[in-house]
Structure formats: C-alpha cells, structure tokens
Amino acid sequence: MLTLASKLKRDDGVRGPRASNPASDSTRRVSVRDKLLVKEVAELEANLPCTCKVNFPDPNKLHYFQLTVIPDEGYYQGGKFQFEVEVPDAYNMV
C-alpha cells in the first residue's frame, strides 16, 4: 500500500537528500489518514453505544479495528455480530 509518508520519502530520494537526519524524518512524518483517525477514534469511543465494542488488536494501527455489536432489543436481540474494519490509505481524500 502507498501512504503519503512513503510517497514523500520516495519524492525526497528523487530530489536529493535533505540536511536533516533521515531517521528523524521517518518518526516525524505521519500519513494524513492517521492524523485524522487519531481524532475520529477518540470521538468514536466517546459516542459508541453500550451495545457496541471496538477493539484495536494493534494500538499503533488505528486504521484496522474490530467492531462487535450485541443488540439488546429487537429481532437480533442476543445475537453477536463482529466486523473487521480497515480504513484505506486514501481515506478522506477520495
């Protein structure tokens, strides 16, 4: 997958090295998707109904999570529905 950070690194290689340390560039750059997800995950967890639970198998990868829904009323009461969600790199741009 192509991320904004990897594209910027590749473009830097074409233009030539910067004066800064390359190791600091890799730790400093974050994709646009990940910047947005930090805010939106906090909002999701704050507003999630009690019948839903979100699980992040790897807390460093906010773009992949598991959602479990256990309805407490209606036709699907007592059921358990699990979803795996992976947010693409182009999130909020395409």
Q: Distance (Å, rounded) from C-alpha 69 to C-alpha 80?
A: 6
Residue 60's pLDDT is 86
Residue 11's pLDDT is 53
Residue 89's pLDDT is 86
- What residue segments make up the domains of the chain, in order of their start? 50-93
Residue 30's pLDDT is 73
| pLDDT tens, N- to C-terminus, the chain (94 residues) | 445 555 555 555 555 554 444 444 445 577 888 888 888 988 988 999 999 999 999 988 889 999 999 999 999 999 999 999 999 888 887 7
